[in-house]
Chains A and B, each alone.
Chain A
Amino acid sequence: MELLAASAIGVLVACGTWLMLRARSFDVILGLTLLSYAVNVMLFMTGGLALGKPPLIREGLSPTLLNYVDPVPQALVLTAIVISFAMTALLVVVALRSREANASDHVDGREDQDAR
């Protein structure tokens, strides 16, 4: 399971990086979104992957990390998701306004004459 999750993160980061290096703001935003997905999955995994273990303390189950998953990464990832969601929303708005004002969604604000 660790291998699967780790490779998924790797693929997401690779795709995100490639998209971010493209010249259209839409691609860049998609790339950033993929990158933040990868980061969120990675943060989530820092507590270790476990099946069927609760993050909250239960009656009759001794409170050690053997019986539970670490709740801190879940709290961290929740914060990170909210923040990256808000940031992406704002970026979309600014990129849309930039496209309107510049009549182009090229990241340089003008069409590249040589390489269309």
Chain B
Amino acid sequence: MNHLPVLPILIPLAAGALLLLAHERSASFKRALAGIALLALTLAVGAALIEADSGQRMVYQLGNWPSNIGIVLVLDRLSALMLVLATVLGVIALVHAAGGDDQRQPHFHALLMFQLMGLNGAFLTGDLFNLFVFFEVLLIASYALLVHAADGERLRRATHYMVINLTGSALFLIALGLLFGLVGTLNMADLARKIALAPVENQAIIEVAALLLMTVFAIKGALLPVYLWLPRTYAAATPAVAALFAIMTKVGIYAVYRVHSLIFGADAGALAQLAQPWLLPLGIGTLILAALGALAARELRVLVGYLIVASAGTLFVAFGVGGQSALNAGLFYLIHSTLVVAALFLLADLIATHRPRAGDSLRLADYIQRPDALALVFLILAVAVTALPPLSGFIAKVALLDALAKHPGGAWIWAAVLGSGLLLMVSLARAGSQLFWRPAPEAFRNAAPVPAPSLFTVLPIAALTTAILALSVLADPVLRYTGAAATQLLDTRGYIDDVLGQVPVERAQPAP
């Protein structure tokens, strides 16, 4: 059996455990160890991407149990894509934190590894209960990363974040209990097969379970009524952690894409597509409110938090519309928005250090140092995130609008997507002019010069910006990959056959 699918979970697990043992060693030792682990992870994930691009799903049966009894990991194009994104952000966070942030918490590197393990596991697993467990792994690591060097305000935000997510976990377990009680399995492929055949009297409760699952994923993914925790929580995190958290909302979105297209997708009989009628209006509402929130934001970091919410809204709209072309555009947008938001969080922190008095406040005027370089990067990222041509955001939005046009309510969705885009553009233009053009009081001009930012701070931002430019230039191959991923995601029959048809490895009988 090929062990590739389990490596993205095992490598960070082993490295995290080693880092816990080595917690009294020097920071450079821990950085090196985490760096080696991330290098190994990058290789494994790269191999997984190449393997997945062959179009074949790799099914890995843990403990060699048959698929419907044991836990399976399934590597397909979508999970490989998510693994790559998580690993990229892991590397970015590690490099950025090596600038000094990681010394404020002895276990930063171990927590980073456990966070990646939880993320990778959630992207790979083919079992719903296992998805819950990996959600908890990534959440407990994120709680600890969030309280990293926290003051009163951050601790309060972290408490809110934990309470919300613990409530979400309780709902998740209720949904799992209902599904297991009625269907008798938690393997996603097996569930997908059996739910289509569920007797009529059970369908109402299964629907409750499906919508509860949607609620849980919406909490993680920041959908309308339950996104309120996000902008200020992310603004309270240290920059490296906030950049890593750019993938955290995408976990919720990935889970919706996976679970609600596979288990409650087109082939689910009476329960087919039951989340779509909810997700489309809620996604539109999220988009509009996120745009208004961005307009009202008083700090750059909070504004970036609202950009995350807006991107989540867009992704939920894409799923709510459904179909191969909308999902294709959605997946491309997912890559783009994850990278650009992570870069913006890092940039917001860099801008804050260059405005000694005002920080990242958009209310106070201050004299900004090194305005040219900062403004250039801000401009590139703002153009990308507001979907102006010629960068990747534009390509994603055009593909999305093209897919939305076929929907009966297309005109309204267009109006919402474009209108919220306009509001986001206004809010970023306002933020940019406030940061870079508003004249500061004369007394501020002779502030002590800020030391040049270290390579560890600049490199991640440069790398992410380059990645966004590369994504704009190489949009065609990426779109081809996401298109194939969307087709594969919608091929639920193939998924079920691949997972349940996988036979455990024959083992040689031990000699008597």
The answer to whether A86 and B152 touch across the interface, beta carbons within 8 angstroms, is no
The answer to whether B147 and A97 touch across the interface, beta carbons within 8 angstroms, is yes
The 8 A CB mask of B411-435 against A (1 = contact, 0 = none) is 0000000000000000000000000
* Least CB distance, B63 to chain A, in whole angstroms: 13
In the complex, B169 has a CB within 8 A of chain A: yes
List B residues 241-268 near A (Cβ within 8 Å). Answer: none
In the complex, B462 has a CB within 8 A of chain A: no
List B residues 141-166 near A (Cβ within 8 Å). Answer: 143-144, 147, 150-153, 155-156, 158-160, 162-163, 166
What CA separation (Å) do A10 and B81 show in the bound complex? 42
* Least CB distance, A113 to chain B, in whole angstroms: 17
The 8 A CB mask of A54-72 against B (1 = contact, 0 = none) is 0000000000000000001
Which residue in B139, B151, B159 is a CB contact (below 8 Å) of A94? B159
* Least CB distance, B187 to chain A, in whole angstroms: 11
The answer to whether B156 and A35 touch across the interface, beta carbons within 8 angstroms, is no
Which residue in B156, B160, B163, B173 is a CB contact (below 8 Å) of A102? B156
Residue of B nearest to A110 (CB): B156
What CA separation (Å) do A97 and B155 show in the bound complex? 7
The answer to whether B177 and A43 touch across the interface, beta carbons within 8 angstroms, is yes
The answer to whether B152 and A101 touch across the interface, beta carbons within 8 angstroms, is yes
Residue of B nearest to A109 (CB): B156
What CA separation (Å) do A80 and B173 show in the bound complex? 8
The answer to whether B156 and A42 touch across the interface, beta carbons within 8 angstroms, is no
- Given A28-B163, A90-B140, A101-B151, A108 and B156 touching (CB < 8 A)? yes
* Least CB distance, A105 to chain B, in whole angstroms: 10
In the complex, B129 has a CB within 8 A of chain A: yes
Report the count of interface residues on A (CB-CB < 8 A): 34
Residue numbers in A under 8 Å from B140 (CB-CB): 86-87, 90
The answer to whether A90 and B155 touch across the interface, beta carbons within 8 angstroms, is no
Residue numbers in A under 8 Å from B167 (CB-CB): 20, 32, 35
The answer to whether A102 and B181 touch across the interface, beta carbons within 8 angstroms, is no
Residue numbers in A under 8 Å from B159 (CB-CB): 25, 91, 94-95, 98, 107
Residue of B nearest to A33 (CB): B166
Residue numbers in B under 8 Å from A109 (CB-CB): 152-153, 156
What CA separation (Å) do A83 and B129 show in the bound complex? 12
Residue numbers in B under 8 Å from A94 (CB-CB): 143, 147, 155, 158-159, 162
Which residue in A25, A32, A42, A80 is a CB contact (below 8 Å) of B166? A32
List A residues 70-88 near B (Cβ within 8 Å). Answer: 72-73, 76, 79-80, 83-84, 86-88
Residue of A nearest to B179 (CB): A46
Residue numbers in B under 8 Å from A72 (CB-CB): 180
The 8 A CB mask of B167-194 against A (1 = contact, 0 = none) is 1011001101110110000100000000
Residue numbers in B under 8 Å from A42 (CB-CB): 173-174, 177
Residue numbers in B under 8 Å from A88 (CB-CB): 166
5 A-B residue pairs with Cβ-Cβ distance under 8 Å, sorted by A, are: A32-B170, A43-B173, A90-B143, A91-B163, A97-B147
Q: Known contacts A76-B129, A94-B158; can you find 19 more A-B pairs with CB under 8 A?
A: A32-B163, A32-B167, A39-B170, A39-B174, A43-B176, A43-B177, A45-B181, A79-B129, A79-B133, A80-B173, A91-B162, A98-B152, A101-B151, A101-B152, A102-B152, A102-B155, A102-B156, A107-B156, A109-B156
